[in-house]
Structure 1
Amino acid sequence: MDAPDAAARRAPGPTGPPARNFPLAFLRQLRTRDLLPPGLAESDAPAPPAGAAGRPPVVLIHGTWMNAYSTWAMIAPGLRAAGFDVHGFNYGVDRGCRVGRVGGVAGVADLEASAAEVADAVDAVLAATGAERVDLICHSQGAIHGRLYAQERGAGRVRTLISLGGNHHGATLSGVSRLGDRLTAAGIPVEPAFTRILGPAGLQQTPGRPIFERLNSAGELREGVRYVNFASRVDWIATPWAGGFLDHDPARPGACDPAVRNIRVQDLGRGQWPDHLSMLYSPTVLAEIIAALGGPARQPDHAVVVPVWGQLRPPALAGIGAAAAAGWLLARRRRRRR
């Protein structure tokens, strides 16, 4: 397979508009290669307001088959509005696989190459800002790279590591990876075809792969790092969903290390039912992230968040309810006429 396209992944891209829903952001990602979210320090977004001094810069690390825009189109501008110095980038571009040739798709390259690329990017943020430490917010595969940085090259340089649907122990993709293991054991070579189509990163993140021995063999936590982990019990990609937690004992859910906070998104309030993707478009999750980083308190947001789509605002819910009521009345009238 061809090496990742370094020029494509490092070139600055255009900035897209804010988004409230994952599918719309993903479609914009596919239409515009190297698209970046609004709110990044290197974009034309307004500078953080007074009072932001002293906070570490925040680096956003996206996941597999996505890019910085589709992952952070709501969270990045929200962080910027709260006064954070926000940085993001696309990594893991690999034109050697079919999916990698689609404009805007990143996070598909070999994990070792991507880990080095992410570490270089975080080092560049620290050098450019003059900061001694950094806060990392990571989605899915991004949690692997954030944790590797915190325990290897960036040891002592990470203050907070926040993961959203983080792949800390290997994801089964609702059992698809186990099916692949069974086919391989039966002599059907599915892995080469999978890699040619979807890139190496996907299979390298399934349970039992070497990357997780590297991550967890010496313990899941690193001294001096605060961990905040968000997971959803309706996550159908990073399965089992509780694998998104660190230092987690299901028999003792409140007994984890004081440096770790494991959050089941459904416990944050009514109407919070995001999956692996729409978790990125929950105002409630954003408010928790801002609070975890020491930002200002936000007013509660009453948006309902549903799988895949994202936010359903109260007017939309009212419209759905009105349409359902109208449909019920029409059906009832037709039955009476009969």
Structure 2
Amino acid sequence: MRSTLRGSLVALVSVIVMCGAAAQAGPALAVPGAESADAAAAQRLTDYINAGSPAGRRAVNGFKHDADWSGPTRKLPPIPSTVGVGPRQTGFWPAFAYSQVNPRVAPPGANDWSCKPKAGQNPVVLLHGTWENAYDNWAAFAPVLKKAGYCVFTPNYGRTDLLDVGGLGTILPGTNGVAKVGRSAEQIDPYITKVLAKTGAKKINLIGHSQGGLLARYWMKRFNGHLKVDKLITYGATNNGTTLDGIGWLGRSINNVGLDVLAPVTLLVGSAGIDQTIDSPTVKYVNNRAPFHDSGQKRVYPDVEYTIVGSRYDEVTTPYDLTFLPGYRNVKNITLQNGCEQDTSDHISMSYSPRALSIALHTLDPQRYPKLVCSSSPWFFSF
């Protein structure tokens, strides 16, 4: 029954949230605990797509990679300040409803520009996902982190309109993260610079949900942001993209053999959604073309500590283990249900999971928060 319900709501979730779409370009990930059938299927899809005709190449933001139809490329305006503070929420849907009436409200505990970090602490920057906003994504996380003593900041990034290829979701006032990932990275770069300047910190800790995780890594590469990051934590991030239950890889494979089906789809879902489709230029750029010191590693920087969290019930980043990064010494991949089967959080409810919150606290300060919480957390219907 649960599997049937999940399948019937996949389309709804992808339209409401659309927090990722693409699949890994390259060898299948060898992730402890990953489901081999999903990994093998993802590899077969990748091999098929890579066999297609190559896309054209052009310069984008100073570097070259395969180009999708992308619409306008002008810079986004500076990130607007949040206005007011909303109440703490225990589930996504009440937070979503509140943010549609108050689209620029901050989650409780966030965006206090007078905050100074305590000794040994870095400020924490939270990056929301596609079609989400600072409030509905982080109305549970931000107050917990603030109570733990952290200076917390979260922007509303990537907001644009339908004519600027932001997708149909821009008709809703609280829909952000819809512009191309590269444009959003240009937008968050001065925001993070401001966080460092105002707090006097040398580094930040980054937490990203869905596109927010991919965006963090894109920014870390494009703007040498890895030099400013101590720890990166992602939840359901499209780190290697997603098949979106097959929809994403189908569109990409058709595009790669010369029939442009992604252009009209972009008008519907927005540029950010297409950036996260399988084998996209953005996903390939983040994972396969980075200058990495002398470590020889791909995908990760040796001077950043990575904690990558995925849920078996994720219906947007699929297969869910594509969120994981190769298991280098500075990378920890965590399946949310390992050791806590009663947590059935899906893509959108993950940021309201008590266990997910405890993973963040443990990662930021394992001495103060040595144990992970385990409690029931519902799939999709989080209130």
Q: CA deviation at 1:299?
A: 7.9
Change (3 A) 1:43 1:125: closer
Moved more, 32-41 or 259-268: 32-41
Matched, 1:84 2:150: yes
Match of 1:279 in 2: 350
Aligned partners of 1:171, 1:301: CA distance in 2, in Å? 28
SS in 2 for 1:177: helix
Aligned partners of 1:282, 1:298: CA distance in 2, in Å? 18
Match of 2:108 in 1: 38
1:267 pairs, out of 338, 345, 368, with 338
Amino acid at match of 1:225: V
Counterparts in 2 of 1:110-259, with a 5 A limit?
A: 110-151=180-221, 152-181=223-252, 190-217=261-288, 218=290, 219-247=298-326, 256-259=327-330
1:28 pairs, out of 86, 98, 101, with 98
SS in 2 for 1:113: helix
Change (3 A) 1:203 1:282: same
Q: Indicate conservation of the 8 Å contact 1:150/1:222, yes or no.
A: no
Q: Indicate conservation of the 8 Å contact 1:282/1:310, yes or no.
A: no
The higher radius of gyration belongs to 1
SS in 2 for 1:216: helix
Match of 1:65 in 2: 131
SS in 2 for 1:267: coil
Q: CA deviation at 1:185?
A: 7.1
Aligned partners of 1:205, 1:35: CA distance in 2, in Å? 27
Greater length-normalized contact order (CA 8 Å, ≥ 6 residues apart): 2
Match of 1:304 in 2: 376
Q: Indicate conservation of the 8 Å contact 2:129/2:209, yes or no.
A: yes
Superimposed CA distance per residue, residues 39-93 of structure 1 (whole angstroms, 9 cap, x where no aligned partner)? 114289xx68xx9332011000111010111110000101001111111110000
Change (3 A) 1:229 1:301: closer
Amino acid at match of 1:246: L
Aligned partners of 2:250, 2:152: CA distance in 1, in Å? 40
Amino acid at match of 1:56: N
Aligned partners of 2:307, 2:202: CA distance in 1, in Å? 20
Q: Indicate conservation of the 8 Å contact 1:272/1:306, yes or no.
A: yes
Q: CA deviation at 1:216?
A: 1.2
Overall identity of the aligned pairs, in %:
32
Counterparts in 2 of 1:92-103, with a 5 A limit?
A: 92-95=158-161, 96=163, 97-103=167-173
For the aligned residue pairs, the C-alpha RMSD in angstroms reads 2.5
Match of 1:336 in 2: none
Give the alignment's TM-score, normalised by structure 1. 0.81
Amino acid at match of 1:259: N
Change (3 A) 1:188 1:24: farther
Aligned partners of 1:267, 1:173: CA distance in 2, in Å? 23
Q: CA deviation at 1:121?
A: 1.4
SS in 2 for 1:11: coil
Unaligned runs of 5+ in 2: 1-70, 291-297
Matched, 1:104 2:104: no
Aligned partners of 1:227, 1:216: CA distance in 2, in Å? 14
Q: Indicate conservation of the 8 Å contact 1:4/1:92, yes or no.
A: no
1:288 pairs, out of 355, 359, 367, with 359
